Amino acid sequence: MIRKPKIIVLRTAGTNCDGEMAFAFEKSGGEVDLVHVNQLLRGEVHLQDYHILAIPGGFTYGDDISSGRILANELNVKLGQQIGSFIADGKLMIGVCNGFQVMIKAGFLPGGLASASTPVSQTATLTFNDSGKFEDRWVHLKVEGKSVWTQGLDNNILYLPVAHAEGKFVTIDQDVLEWLKTNGQVAFRYCSSSGGEPHYPDNPNGSVENIAGITDKTGRILGLMPHPERHFLSLQHPSWTRQKHKGTFGDGARIFQNGVDYINNNLLSKTTVSV
């Protein structure tokens, strides 16, 4: 029997990009369950039964107090141990937009930096856009680092949409920023359409050093503000009618495929051998 990578797309009050996230993973060969956080808390669903934890975009709990804050604490306090062992097992996590805000505020990203013994704490944040407003627009991204999620994308410029009011990435101090760069934890930076230095609106929110997405030290946990699941299909491109040769898939598809492939190659193949 062929086992498929099992993906949990986590929902709660105010999650709203779960459908397209589930679609992206399913089309990439994953088996997806949309799971409400209450189901995990009640023990009806177990995180350990899955390979990838995906936290989609939305306005969890209304983004009350600050974006993603309440779900971040809920995960940290109530499911922290489960998530800890999930990560220790070599599994994958991805957070997009509000999911990224949750992961940053829960301290899953950038993760224990200064020393491994320090308990996870928040060392960066995603704050209000410099424009002072919610904006939906498409951005160009340069890919960096060695994350499993960005395999094969090194020299590409990706074109993805952002849609947020609180997406400006800042670190608590300069050291954290230097650490991120030294460890290769910067995954995506905003750039101009030709790959050059971006200005607003190329960098849509004023993020420091144009950072749009980061990973943990292992590269297995990825968070980003732009929405790869909204450019999974080529027809989602804002000017697909101008393109002569369009395939089926858009720029974001490779990210989901990488996640599924990684599980197939590293976690499922081993299981199959042992069976």
Query: Residue numbers of the site for another protein (CB under 8 A)?
Result: 11, 13-17, 19-20, 23, 27, 36, 38-39, 57-59, 61-62, 64-66, 69-70, 73-74, 77-78, 105, 121-125, 127-130, 132-138, 161, 163, 165, 170-172, 227, 229-230, 232-233, 235-236, 238-239, 241-242
Using alpha carbons, select from 264, 270, 265, 262 the residue that is nearest to residue 92.
262
Side-chain half-sphere exposure of 68, counting CA atoms within 13 A: 32
Nearer to another protein by Cβ, of 78 and 146: the residue is 78
Determine the 3-state secondary structure of 2 from DSSP.
coil
Q: Give whichever of 157 and 170 is closer to another protein, judged by the CB atom.
A: 170
Return the number of the residue (6 or 11) whose C-beta is nearest another protein. 11
How far, CA to CA in Å, does 212 sit from each of 27, 96, 100, 222, 230?
A: 25, 11, 10, 11, 16
Nearest approach, Cβ of residue 126 and another protein (Å)? 9
Sign of CA dihedral 259, 230, 169, 8: negative
SS (H, E, C) 167-221: CEEEECCHHHHHHHHHCCCEEEEEECCCCCCCCCCCCCCCCHHHEEEEECCCCCE
Catalytic residues: 97, 227, 229
* Cα–Cα distance, 203 to 138 (Å, whole number): 10
Minimum distance, C-beta of residue 128 to another protein, in the bound complex (Å)? 4
Rounded-to-integer distance, Cα 176 and Cα 115, Å = 12
Least distance from another protein to the Cβ atom of residue 219, Å: 23
Rounded distance between C-alpha atoms, residue 124 and residue 112, angstroms: 12
In whole angstroms, the minimum distance from the beta carbon of 94 to another protein comes to 16
What is residue 3's DSSP assignment? P
**CB nearer another protein, residue 220 or residue 230:** 230
Closer residue to another protein, CB minimum distance, 135 or 209: 135
Residues making up the chain, counted from first to last: 275
CB of 274 to another protein, least distance (A): 35
CB-wise, 129 or 258, nearer to another protein?
A: 129
In the complex, what is the shortest distance from the CB of residue 67 to another protein, in angstroms, rounded to a whole number? 10
